Structure formats: structure tokens, C-alpha cells
A = this chain, B = another copy of it.
């Protein structure tokens, strides 16, 4: 569809827009001489932390004198990640709440696949201004393989976790009386386990099947994350078929598929923000220490495994399929980079 016409030659622009690039935007005249940044900027220096050259779709009424416009420009990317993840979790936790609390009458397991799939799809549409990572592990893989700036990694992760945290609170507020009804009272909050059949903690974050060992938990999250990242890079690779403006729709299918095919054992968290944010919220809401200890302290698995999985999936795609700019297309398949990462961003210095 000609979604992407312009050639991008900025140092950051090729990595900023990971999922779906700005359509129809004129080739923005990017600064030709961004000075190399040899040290991590501190949070106080938020000026250079975020690009100020976000493309403006409809610049009829740009009022740079307005205080809020400046704030929004500065924080556009965190806002975007926050809201994208917020939408994702609203739909995702919402659908689990509806299926669980209605006793399966108003939805079944397939509804859950729908909810998470379209949550990602609509979250990508909402959070497109920052590339719509919605997942710290995706941001991480983009830093490793697509030159996404490492300095943005902490703020992206923070925004994603906060978005998930807040959205799960909204879902809780919306279903408060239904949860009271289901659990049996406003003071009862339980975590899935052998002693309860009316647990509602599973609305917010994932809990594994009881027969899984920690190794099995980790492997399940690892393989699902690998598939996620491999498919994302395939969809984004214009040297392959490439999904173009169908990418958000295709991500619906990716998430639906991971949920339908690899979602039973651990609930397919595959995302630190999606799991840790709501888990923290449920802890604050009074679900007790079991949110951490359940499944033999399973909580760290969906925090750690996606980083390994997404990195491996991205590496797989780049090694076997990708012919564009990637550390894999450098000497030693870029493995040196893993052990001696370079913070410089000019193409000559990569590796």
C-alpha cells in the first residue's frame, strides 16, 4: 500500500518505528549531524532523551508557545508506550475478568485469545508514535538488533509497566462488585491454587499449570517469546513479503496463535510489563503474598524468560533470513556485540 515511502537515514529513525512506520509522512529533514553520544544521558537531561522531531500529521495549528505542547513533545514516546500498553491490558485483563467472573457464560477460552489478540492490535494503533513495542523484551531485542537506542530502554520499560499497572486497576474497579460476588465477599481475594475454586487473581497476571516444573515454565515462556519476536521481524522485513499496513492485523493473528497454541501451560505472559505490572497491582489490592509465591515463585519467569526468548527469536530471524543492517550481518555473527556492546550508533562503529 505504499505505507512506507520515505527512505530513512537518520541515526535513530530506522529503529524508532518498529511495528508500523508513519504512513504518508514526508521525508522529515532529519539533522544530518547528530553528535555521537558517548555517555548515557541522565534522566535530568530529558531534552536529548526523547526525539523532538516526531512527525506531525496535521500541523495546521502548531502552537509551540503552549506549555502542554512542549511537555507532550518531550514525553511523546513514554506517553505512547504507556497508552498502548494501557489499551492492551484493558482488553486483555478485561476479557479474562469477564470469562472468569461470568463462569464461562459470557466468553470461553477462545474469547481470551480474541481479547489479547485485539488488545495488541489496537494497542499498536494507539501507541504507534513510539513504535508500539508494548513489551520490554521487544524493546530489548530492538536495541540489540535494530539499533534502537539503549538509553531509551529504561524509560520505555517504565512506561510499559506503568501502563499495565494502571490498566489492571481500571479493570479491577470495573469488575469490583462482580469480583465480590464471585469470591464470596469484599474481603476475600484468592490466588489460584489447590485450596480454592473461586480465585480471581488470574484475572490480572498469569499463573502456571500445577504439573509444570520451573524448567517447563521457563521453556514455555521462552518458546512463545521466540515465536513472537521471529514473527514480528518477519512481518516487518520488507526484504521478505512484509505485512505493510496489515501489520497490526497480523499481530492479532500472532498473539491469537500464541495463545491458542502455546498459551495453556503458563498463560502466555511473554511480557514483563503485562505480567509484573498487574501482579504488583493485585498485590496492592490485597491478594496477598501468594501472588509472588504461587507456582513455586513463578513470578520471575515471565519477567526474565521473554528477554531470552525475544533475543533468541530476533537472532534466529537475522541469522537465517535478514539481509538488512543487523549486528548479525557483521563479523562473528554479532556475537561479539553481545559480550562487548558498543554504545556508539554510527554504522561504521557497530560491532
Query: Per a CB cutoff under 8 Å, which of B22, B242, B262 touches A23?
Result: B242
Q: Closest residue of chain B to A101, judged by CB? A: B264
With contacts A54-B323, A111-B260, A126-B230 taken as known, whether A177 is within 8 angstroms of B211 at the C-beta atoms is yes
Query: How far is B94's CA from A154's CA once the two chains are assembled, in angstroms?
Result: 34
Task: Verify A83–B239 contact, CB threshold 8 A.
Answer: no
Check: A289 CB closer than 8 A to any chain B CB.
Answer: no
- Chain A 68-111 interface mask (CB, 8 Å, partner B; 1/0): 11001000100110010001001110110110011001111111
Query: How far is B30's CA from A219's CA once the two chains are assembled, in angstroms?
Result: 45
Task: Verify B262–A94 contact, CB threshold 8 A.
Answer: yes
With contacts A122-B231, A122-B234 taken as known, whether A61 is within 8 angstroms of B329 at the C-beta atoms is yes
Task: Verify B87–A324 contact, CB threshold 8 A.
Answer: no
Query: How far is B220's CA from A107's CA once the two chains are assembled, in angstroms?
Result: 18
In the bound complex, residues from chain B placing their C-beta under 8 Å from that of A143 are: none
Check: A257 CB closer than 8 A to any chain B CB.
Answer: yes
A-side interface mostly = helix
**Shortest beta-carbon distance from A31 to chain B in Å:** 13
Q: Closest residue of chain B to A97, judged by CB? A: B261
Task: Verify B2–A1 contact, CB threshold 8 A.
Answer: yes
Query: How far is B266's CA from A3's CA once the two chains are assembled, in angstroms?
Result: 36
Task: Verify B3–A244 contact, CB threshold 8 A.
Answer: yes
Query: How far is B125's CA from A128's CA once the two chains are assembled, in angstroms?
Result: 22
With contacts A3-B244, A110-B110 taken as known, whether A115 is within 8 angstroms of B260 at the C-beta atoms is yes
Task: Verify A261–B98 contact, CB threshold 8 A.
Answer: yes
In the bound complex, residues from chain B placing their C-beta under 8 Å from that of A80 are: 321
In the bound complex, residues from chain B placing their C-beta under 8 Å from that of A192 are: none
Query: How far is B241's CA from A80's CA once the two chains are assembled, in angstroms?
Result: 12
In the bound complex, residues from chain B placing their C-beta under 8 Å from that of A262 are: 94, 98, 174
Query: How far is B63's CA from A324's CA once the two chains are assembled, in angstroms?
Result: 10
Q: Closest residue of chain B to A334, judged by CB? A: B68
Query: Per a CB cutoff under 8 Å, which of B219, B230, B246 touches A249?
Result: B246
Task: Verify B58–A323 contact, CB threshold 8 A.
Answer: yes
Task: Verify B321–A235 contact, CB threshold 8 A.
Answer: no
Number of interface residues of A (CB under 8 A): 119
Query: How far is B95's CA from A260's CA once the two chains are assembled, in angstroms?
Result: 6
Task: Verify B125–A230 contact, CB threshold 8 A.
Answer: no
Check: A178 CB closer than 8 A to any chain B CB.
Answer: yes
Closest 10 CB pairs of A and B: A57-B239, A58-B324, A94-B261, A128-B241, A126-B234, A95-B261, A106-B264, A2-B2, A118-B253, A128-B240
Task: Verify A110–B111 contact, CB threshold 8 A.
Answer: yes
In the bound complex, residues from chain B placing their C-beta under 8 Å from that of A23 are: 2, 238, 241-242, 244
In the bound complex, residues from chain B placing their C-beta under 8 Å from that of A211 are: 177-178, 181
With contacts A105-B109, A264-B98 taken as known, whether A320 is within 8 angstroms of B79 at the C-beta atoms is yes
Residue picked from A101, A118, A230, most chain B C-beta under 10 Å: A118
Check: A285 CB closer than 8 A to any chain B CB.
Answer: no
**Shortest beta-carbon distance from A225 to chain B in Å:** 12
In the bound complex, residues from chain B placing their C-beta under 8 Å from that of A231 are: 87, 122, 125-126
Check: A132 CB closer than 8 A to any chain B CB.
Answer: yes
In the bound complex, residues from chain B placing their C-beta under 8 Å from that of A338 are: none
